[in-house]
Structure 1
């Protein structure tokens, strides 16, 4: 009998053990490889779990005729530690999200309006491209180069989601031409000539 009581007491204790349901990020403290430190639950409000940043179209008046509005942990602190995030894509006619990669997450694209041609390149250099209509979804595996282009004559938009609170982003063109990587190194590691490299650096603000 005493053994049964002991086991029931142990089960009750385990069922009531402290579980950390969430960890709303304290953005005033530095980010670590494990994420941000938590705001104390006593200071967390219901509004901390709501994010309104994706309700308005982004400004597409720029060189790529497109806008990405992120809902990552830096904008939406309640995502901290949950392994998810989101963003909004807006593409004017001829708009493009250039070839890029997310080192920390896979991406799911859900088309809201218009039509979007999207695709990715596998590590074996196989190409997967589709033109998507509203309501269609496409997946981009983690770390692979991918892109989105407005395939119509009117504006298009989409929501994307990631399996990380901070998926990371590296845009291929910017990595090559928007920094101070010397022209001769870009020439030496690509099949481009110096004149083309300097022209692209001039467009994207790079030097060297």
Structure 2
């Protein structure tokens, strides 16, 4: 059983995953606090940045826009891309293994909360060529 302090996490409490397009703080996952069926992260995307089209084989994803505005693309079951403008309060469902991408089209950073079910996609991000760790000590955590 994890320490109860791990029940409560802020993005700066954990090492962040850095990328050319922004950063991701995995605040809930098997390796963070023993979660078994899903993982979650807070994503920060600077203006004009975004992540390329990708998918998470075997996992569904929920994207919730906390702040900022962007263009969210989700491909349908036939591989046809559908792009919508998203902003605070918008929830986006990404079906299992479906390709998607996010681009910050606004003037302020986007803050996004994501949930993966089952857990695992957050670990695969470490294999990307631009991945680097941003220590929590560098974030004030």
Cα-to-partner distance string for 1:136-175 (whole Å, 9 max, x where unaligned): 111111111111110201111110112212236767xx5x
Q: What's the CA shift for 1:51? A: 4.1
Structure-2 change in CA distance of 1:155 and 1:170 (3 Å): same
How many pairs align?
A: 125
Listed as ranges, the gaps of 5+ residues in structure 2 are 131-141
Listed as ranges, the gaps of 5+ residues in structure 1 are 1-23, 25-43, 179-203
Cα-to-partner distance string for 1:74-110 (whole Å, 9 max, x where unaligned): 2x23203xx1110111011111022111113111111
- CA contact under 8 A between 2:17 and 2:25: conserved in structure 1? no
**What is the CA RMSD across the aligned residues, in angstroms?**
2.6
Which structure shows the higher strand fraction?
2
- CA contact under 8 A between 1:103 and 1:169: conserved in structure 2? no
Aligned to 1:115: 69
State the distance in 1 between where 2:123 and 2:106 align. 26
- CA contact under 8 A between 1:92 and 1:156: conserved in structure 2? yes
Greater relative contact order (Cα < 8 A, sep 6+) = 2
State the distance in 1 between where 2:3 and 2:43 align. 29
Aligned to 1:160: 114
Greater gyration radius: 1
State the distance in 2 between where 1:131 and 1:169 align. 28
State the distance in 2 between where 1:134 and 1:102 align. 24
Aligned to 2:5: 47
Structure-2 change in CA distance of 1:153 and 1:109 (3 Å): same
- TM-score for both structures, normalised by structure 1: 0.52
Paired residue for 2:86, among 99, 121, 132?
A: 132
Structure-2 change in CA distance of 1:166 and 1:46 (3 Å): same
- TM-score for both structures, normalised by structure 2: 0.73
- CA contact under 8 A between 1:111 and 1:132: conserved in structure 2? yes
- CA contact under 8 A between 1:121 and 1:127: conserved in structure 2? yes
Aligned-partner SS, 2:84: strand
